[in-house]
Amino acid sequence: MMYMFMTIIAAMTISLLLMIICSIISKTSSYDREKMSPFECGFDPMSSARTPFSIQFFLIAILFLIFDIEIAILLPIMLTMKLSVTKTWIMTMMVFMSILILGLYHEWKNGVLEWAK
């Protein structure tokens, strides 16, 4: 019981010490105009760094991430083929692939995959 109490006290002491050191270090940094401006290879920026980007690019990036994760899910399924019943494995794969294809068809029909309009 005493060991657990000492461990908790040590963890709280280290955490408090780190928070105090971080607050001291952060107050010494100066916020001048040059340090707060965006850096572009030593040149002044041509336009604002806060310009919005295309929502179409965002949607394509999200679709890429979704399908990339689904491919990562598909790879280990090949290894489980040896350990499972063939009919169950085939049905699972067909359902999974049909969901992927239906999702891609839905995105295609909604026009998300068209880059230029």
Would the pLDDT of 16 be above 90? yes
pLDDT, one tens digit per residue, over 80-117 is: 777 888 888 888 889 988 988 898 898 889 887 777 65
**What pLDDT band is residue 32 in, cutting at 50, 70 and 90?**
low
pLDDT, one tens digit per residue, over 57-85 is: 888 888 888 888 888 888 887 777 778 88
Phi, psi of 72 (to 5 degrees): -65, -30
